[in-house]
Structure 1
Amino acid sequence: MLTLYIARHGQTEWNIEKRMQGWENSNLTNLGLANAQALGKKLKDVDFQVVYVSTSERAVHSAQAILQDRVLPFIKDDRFREIGLGSWEGKTYAEVQQTDADMLKAYFDQPDQYIPNGGESFPAFESRVRQALKQILDNHREGNVLLVSHSVFILMLLNILKKRPIQELWNSAYVSDTALAVVNIAENGNIAILKEGDGEHRIKQEQSW
């Protein structure tokens, strides 16, 4: 039995400012770092074999805060990055609403109809997330694996595990900063999602992007 522990990075400066953050990066806030450390304490007794991490600094720093002094294989890969948002990167939600309202609505309401400007379409993103999942499953059939990534990546990964179409992407628990999902994957391929959107460890429960 393989158990995946899937965590979002901690709160960032752009999360507070409600800026669109995909491949671009902003620093963790003090609260984001503290929540990552709190998640580390929650998981301190889990014997991880490896940690897979998005190459974005906010994810790398969050993973380091979760692991504390633990020394584990630390695999960074672009395939675990957030969806690329192209021309929206760094803009506030309000700014995108003013300039690209129809496509912003499609992004959240009809992701299969969303056409990015310089970013990733949801079908292309789904393909990348499937490759990322395959990388883990090809390398690990049992034990505990930690994955530190991003909100939409995690939603897509769970959507794939639930065998749902892209249109169902947003119909899962909100992925707050450092929210945890736990998934069991048996050798016969059976999947059990034990937790999703778990933020009980968080110092503050307020939502952030």
Structure 2
Amino acid sequence: MTTVYLIRHAEAEGNVYRRCQGQYDSLLTPRGHQQLPYLAKRFEAVPLDAVYASDLFRARTTAKAVAAPHGLNVETRPVLREIDMGDWEDIPWAELPRIWPKEYAVWHARPWEAVPPHGESVMQAGRRMLDGVRRLVGAHAGQTFAVVTHGSAIRGALTIAHGLAPEQMGEIGWGDNTCVAKFVFDGPDKIDVVYENDASHLPQELSTFASIGWTDHKGVPSTPQIWFRRADPMDEEDAAKIVAFMRELHQNAYGTDAGVNPAALLADVARAQRVSPRSCCFGCLEDGTPASLVYLKTWYDDEPDVGLVGGFCIDKAYRGHGLSGQILGQAISVYRALGKDYLCAHVASENARAQGFYHKFAFEQRGEYRDENGLHFRMFKRICID
């Protein structure tokens, strides 16, 4: 008999930023790093002969926490990767039904047969990953090892391991980040699933499901998801909205919006969008209502490895509804695509609320900046994948 612990990676960017991230490589979140010691503790007394992981950062980083107490190295295997989401990679989930309505409708209603354009299905990913595990079982007959992989791949693999038909995949619930399944193999083909989707090692305050409002464990968050559209500075209505958001941001930061020069602002937005059309976007609700603004100064080149934030603003009616991570995710997506290593924001020294936002998402203060509006802290977040 060979025992395999199948582990989902710790909380990663896509889980919080509400973006479709299959084989897109992303970092762990601050809560993801907090989850790791609890996972390590769970396996501290479990005899392990080897630890394997997908080669994606979020899986191999999680695997190191499992391997460290045993003095083991993590061996990576691309076959253990998450589902390939093809053209959907790094697209906000709320954007998919707008761009690919027919394909997304199948994903929503019949996920076992849905294949994103140029991607693969959940069942294909599950079979690929499980076949990779079977090969490892052949190399570790009679031993015990851990495999750190991904949510959709695990769901597909569990469907196969239970002998269910693909259309019965819905009977396999989603597992929280760092959840564990225990498989016992009698040869490569006969599998006994001892337990699955067990995240009992996590305290409630570190549960991803609890924090983002997943109430049914089937991947449907109860908080709003937003999609992004380009804010056109040449369009009269869009221009007015851009200025209104930036006035609100200045009012919140400095107690006055006197520093907003609409003409100069819109010229800077146009300049930024020549670098990337996504440099200034509205985060919109399902009905198209702009609920937030993401403005990035992509024309900034004083520090070649730094992407500078021009402004994040959420309409006061939608604050406190989980949108902050989504607007940050959009900024990271833009600057990572531009090859930046760091995201930087200049935060007014008196703006405690904004400082709280950046500290929540693990920005660190590195220096100060002063302009006509006063003193600012320079807040940095590393966004490149090592």
TM-score, L = length of structure 2:
0.51
Q: How far has the Cα of 1:195 moved from its partner? A: 1.5
More RCO (CA 8 Å, sep 6+): 1
Q: 1:47–1:20: structure 2 CA closer, same or farther, 3 Å change rule?
A: same
Structure 2: how far apart are the matches of 1:65 and 1:130?
Answer: 22
Q: Which amino acid aligns with 1:205?
A: S
Residue number in structure 1 paired with 2:32: 32
Residue number in structure 2 paired with 1:17: 17
Q: Which amino acid aligns with 1:101?
A: P
Residue number in structure 2 paired with 1:132: 132
Structure 2: how far apart are the matches of 1:95 and 1:188?
Answer: 41
Does the 8 Å contact 1:22/1:85 carry over to 2?
A: yes
Structure 1: how far apart are the matches of 2:86 and 2:67?
Answer: 32
Structure 2: how far apart are the matches of 1:192 and 1:11?
Answer: 27
Residue 194 (str. 1) matches residue 194 (str. 2): yes
Structure 2: how far apart are the matches of 1:65 and 1:153?
Answer: 21
Q: Which moved more, 1:56-65 or 1:101-110?
A: 101-110
Output one character per residue of 1:34-66: Cα deviation in whole Å (capped at 9) or x when no partner: 212211101100110111100101101111123
Larger gyration radius, structure 1 or structure 2: 2
Structure 1: how far apart are the matches of 2:75 and 2:151?
Answer: 19
Q: How far has the Cα of 1:21 moved from its partner? A: 0.8
Does the 8 Å contact 2:123/2:157 carry over to 1?
A: no
Q: How far has the Cα of 1:122 moved from its partner? A: 4.4
Structure 2: how far apart are the matches of 1:69 and 1:123?
Answer: 33
Q: 1:41–1:179: structure 2 CA closer, same or farther, 3 Å change rule?
A: same
Q: How many residues align?
A: 209
Residue number in structure 2 paired with 1:150: 150
Q: How far has the Cα of 1:24 moved from its partner? A: 0.5
List gaps (5 residues or longer) in structure 2. 213-218, 220-386
Q: Which amino acid aligns with 2:183?
A: V
Structure 2: how far apart are the matches of 1:183 and 1:198?
Answer: 13
Structure 1: how far apart are the matches of 2:124 and 2:6?
Answer: 21
Q: Which amino acid aligns with 2:91?
A: K
Residue number in structure 2 paired with 1:47: 47
Q: 1:201–1:91: structure 2 CA closer, same or farther, 3 Å change rule?
A: same
List gaps (5 residues or longer) in structure 1. none
Structure 2: how far apart are the matches of 1:22 and 1:46?
Answer: 30
Does the 8 Å contact 2:124/2:156 carry over to 1?
A: no
Residue number in structure 2 paired with 1:205: 207
Does the 8 Å contact 1:38/1:66 carry over to 2?
A: no
Structure 1: how far apart are the matches of 2:52 and 2:201?
Answer: 21
> 3-state SS of the aligned residue for 1:111?
coil
Structure 2: how far apart are the matches of 1:200 and 1:122?
Answer: 25
Percent identity, aligned pairs only? Answer: 24
Structure 1: how far apart are the matches of 2:188 and 2:89?
Answer: 40
Residue number in structure 2 paired with 1:181: 181
Q: How far has the Cα of 1:69 moved from its partner? A: 4.3
Q: Which amino acid aligns with 2:207?
A: Q
Higher strand fraction (1 or 2)? 2
Q: 1:101–1:39: structure 2 CA closer, same or farther, 3 Å change rule?
A: same
Q: How far has the Cα of 1:156 moved from its partner? A: 1.4
Structure 2: how far apart are the matches of 1:121 and 1:206?
Answer: 24
Structure 2: how far apart are the matches of 1:124 and 1:26?
Answer: 22
Q: How far has the Cα of 1:112 moved from its partner? A: 4.6
Residue number in structure 2 paired with 1:163: 163
Superposed CA RMSD = 2.1
Q: Which amino acid aligns with 1:166?
A: P
Q: Which amino acid aligns with 2:170?
A: W
